Structure formats: C-alpha cells, structure tokens
C-alpha cells in the first residue's frame, strides 16, 4: 500500500497554495469570531496530518474499497435522519458519533469522488452505454436526496456539478453532453419560471423567498436580502487595502452584527472589508490556481481513476468557491455554502485536505515526460 516516492515528484506548489488560502481563512475567522480561531487552527493541523498520510498511500489500492466508501457514505447521511442527527438553525445536517459532531455531507463529497473514480475505471469501455450511465445516475440519487432533505439545497447543487465533472472526465461522449445540455438548459429555464410562482411546490418557501430577495433586493432590504446587501456594502467599503485586520469600526459587518455568522457563509465579506480589493483578489486567485493545479494533475494521471479524483476535487473546490463568492457579491441567490479552506468548519476543512491528499498521491504517480 505504501510506495517509495521521490521528493521532487511531490506537488509542493499545490500544498503551498492550499496552506496560503487556509492561513487567510484562519485570520478571517479570528476576526469574525476570535473564540473560533484556535479550533480552525486545530482543523488545519489535523487536515495537514491526514493530507500527508493519505498522499503516501497508493490510491489504486485504497480504491479497491470503493463499495465500502459508497455504503459508508449512505450510512452516514442516513444517520442524520435518526436520533443522532443534530438540528442547527432549523436544518438537520450534523450527527454526533463518539462525542464528535460533524457534517456527513462534507465527507460525502470526497467519498463519492473515490467511489466513482473506481466504478468508472472498471467500466470505462462501456461508459457511454445506457446501462452504465443509468447506474452512475442511480448511485448518485440516494446521496442527493438525503442531502436535499436535510434541507441543504446548496450542497446538493455542488454535488450535482461535481458529478457532472466526474462523468465528463470519465469519458462520456461529446454528442451525449450536447444532447443533455440541449434538454437541461431549457428545462432549467422552465423550472426557474415555475419556482418563482406563488403556488409552486418544487422548493421550500424559504428557498423561494431567497430567490425573490435576489431578484428584488430593494423589496427585501430589511429581511431576506439584508445580509447579502450588507455583504456587498462591506466588500465595497474595504476599497483597495481594506480597513485593517480586526477593525474596531462599529459599522463593520462583524462589529455591527449586520451579518449573522460571518465566519461561515459570509467570510468573504469580512475579507473584503478588512483586506480590501487586494485581499479578495488574493482569495479568488488562490482558488483559481488550486483548481487549475488539480486539473493539471488530472491531465497527467497514470490512469482514469487518478484523473477523476483530481478533476473531481478541482470541480468541487472551483464551483463551491464560485458559489460562495457569487452569493457574497450578489451575483447569485443566497445558498448558504461555505468558502473552501476559508470558512469556519472542521468537517469541511479536514475533508478538503483529505481530498487534496488523494490528489497529491495521484501527482506522485503521474506519467513522466
């Protein structure tokens, strides 16, 4: 399982990029809520440990447990619906096992990438057959349904996009992709037109209200659009260099309580206010570079499974980052998704580091040119 690797083959560039983004997150979390900073640092240390350990294990051997990963994923998501589930702010997304509270949906993202990496690898010659495509979609449905019912629409969307990236890298035909897009795009427009109708039943009322607040922010400026509008103002108020780390200005988003829980969904607003345009650009550039580096590893992987692992992580980090920043800047409706490596949350942080550990191992076994 453990193999001999050359130090020069280790992707230190990816490690440095991830650490830099995490350090920015640690400072931002500390400013948003100083009591959480030590916990975030602990998550960083644990994450680094798991990343290094996993990077030294041959992913090809670990992927032989792909059915264990899949069943374990469904089991953890299922436990959220039991008495072990913990409800926070009206959403039941956490469970407590052995005294530890964590969010299974964050772990699910990584486990699903690993499962599909091996499953598609085993059936790569038939990836464009109706049977294999149907099975891939069927295996994805339980996870999506369980996460959606928490309710957690934002993570459901992230997982769906991640699945699309996996299928594309897995070798699905361009013709099939074009055919799917020809159906999905018009369908998405129709669904959107339905969900904004007063008597719709496709989404929950609070989700519909978030869409209304995005479309008509002036009508919801004191209710559902309150946080998003304050986030936009906070980012703008930072101007070029920001107001300074841990600013004591009473009108800041964190000191004035203009945004609830700024350490998670709206951490980008804190960065924009305190570090300005320079700070927000640094975060965006780092997310783009991490995503591109994962895609680069995917392109050089020794086999299809390695490509899927690296590309799956690229899709996860890139799209989730885009979604969070889009919400903070008003480009997208409020979804409640965290900013990768930056927002507070041990499950998210450690899970992402585990995923990066697998990408590093793929990189260690890349084709040599």
Taking only the tens place, the pLDDT of each residue in 95-132 is: 988 778 889 999 999 999 999 999 999 999 999 899 99
Report how far residue 188's alpha carbon sits from residue 205's, in angstroms, rounded to the nearest whole number: 19
Distance (Å, whole) CA 132 – CA 128: 7
Looking at the chain, how many residues does it have? 369
pLDDT of residue 147: 94
**pLDDT tier, 183 (very low <50, low <70, confident <90, very high otherwise):** confident
- Per the model's pLDDT, the better-predicted residue between 297 and 248 turns out to be 297
Decide if 146 contacts 80 (C-beta within 8 A): yes
Read out DSSP for 281-329?
HHHHHHHHHHHHHHHHHHHH-SSHHHHHHHHHHHHHHHHHHHHHHHHHT
Contacts of 131 (CB under 8 A, 6+ apart): none
Pick the more confident residue, 317 or 154.
Answer: 317
The answer to whether the predicted template modeling score (pTM) of the entire model surpasses 0.85 is yes
Instruction: State yes or no: pLDDT of 237 exceeds 80.
Output: yes
Region of poorest pLDDT, from 53-67, 78-92, 301-315: 78-92
- Farthest CA pair distance, the chain: 62
Instruction: Please list the alpha-helical segments (H only) found in the chain.
Output: 12-32, 37-55, 59-62, 66-79, 104-122, 130-148, 153-169, 174-195, 205-215, 226-237, 267-300, 304-328, 346-364
Question: In this predicted structure, what is the pLDDT of residue 122?
Answer: 94
Q: Does the structure show a pLDDT above 80 at 257?
A: no
Decide if 202 contacts 299 (C-beta within 8 A): no
Mark 229-251 as b/e (b = at least 16 C-beta within 10 Å).
bbbbbbbebbeeebbeeebeeee
Q: What is the mean pLDDT of residues 247-257?
A: 72
Q: What is the pLDDT of residue 368?
A: 65
Window from 37-46, 184-193, 216-225 with minimum mean pLDDT = 216-225
Q: Are 16 and 48 in contact (CB under 8 A)?
A: no
Task: Give me the mean pLDDT over the 27-53 stretch.
Answer: 94
Of 44-58, 73-87, 101-115, which gets the smallest average pLDDT?
A: 73-87
Percent of the chain with pLDDT over 90: 57
Band (298; pLDDT cuts 50, 70, 90): very high
| Average of per-residue pLDDT across 4-13 | 83
**What is the pLDDT, as a whole number, of residue 8?**
81
Residue 2 has pLDDT above 70, yes or no: no
Residue 369, pLDDT score:
55
pLDDT at 322 over 80: yes
- State the chain's mean pLDDT as an integer: 89
Residue 1: its pLDDT value, please?
Answer: 59
What confidence score (pLDDT) does residue 230 get? Answer: 86
Distances (CA, A) of 212 to 157, 192, 224: 19, 11, 9
**314 or 85: which leads in pLDDT:** 314
């Amino acid at each position: 399982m453990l193999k001999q690797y050359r130090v020069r083959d280790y992707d230190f560039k990816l490690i440095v990029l991830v650490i830099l983004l995490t350090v920015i997150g640690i400072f931002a979390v500390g400013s948003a809520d100083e009591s959480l900073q030590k916990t975030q640092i602990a998550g960083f240390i644990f994450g680094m440990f798991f990343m290094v350990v996993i990077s030294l294990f041959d992913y090809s051997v670990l992927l032989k447990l792909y059915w264990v990963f899949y069943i374990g994923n469904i089991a953890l998501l299922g436990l959220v619906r039991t008495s072990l589930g913990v409800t926070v702010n009206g959403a039941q997304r956490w469970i407590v096992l052995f005294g530890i509270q964590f969010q299974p949906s964050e772990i699910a993202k990584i486990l699903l990438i690993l499962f599909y990496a091996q499953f598609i690898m085993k059936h790569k010659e038939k990836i464009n057959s109706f049977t294999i495509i149907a099975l891939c979609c069927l295996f994805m449905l339980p996870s999506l349904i369980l996460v959606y019912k928490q309710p957690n629409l934002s993570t459901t969307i992230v997982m769906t996009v991640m699945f699309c990236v996996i299928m594309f890298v897995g070798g699905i035909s361009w013709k099939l992709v074009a055919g799917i897009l020809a159906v999905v795009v018009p369908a998405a427009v129709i669904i959107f037109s339905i969900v904004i109708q007063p008597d719709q039943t496709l989404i929950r009322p609070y989700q519909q209200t978030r869409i209304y607040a995005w479309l008509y922010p002036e009508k919801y400026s004191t209710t559902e659009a309150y946080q998003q509008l304050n986030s936009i103002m906070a980012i703008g108020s930072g101007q070029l260099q920001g107001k300074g780390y841990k600013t004591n200005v009473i009108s800041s988003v964190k000191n004035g309580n203009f945004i609830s829980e700024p350490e998670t969904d709206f951490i980008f607003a804190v960065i924009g206010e305190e570090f300005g345009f320079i700070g927000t650009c640094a975060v965006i550039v780092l997310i783009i570079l991490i995503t591109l580096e994962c895609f680069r590893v995917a392109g050089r992987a020794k086999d299809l499974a390695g490509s899927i692992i690296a590309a799956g992580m690229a899709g996860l980090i890139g799209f989730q980052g885009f979604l969070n920043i889009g919400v903070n800047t008003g480009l997208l409706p409020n979804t409640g998704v965290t900013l990768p490596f930056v927002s507070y949350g041990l499950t998210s942080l450690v899970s992402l580091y585990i995923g990066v550990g697998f990408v590093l191992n793929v990189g260690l076994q890349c084709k040599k040119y």
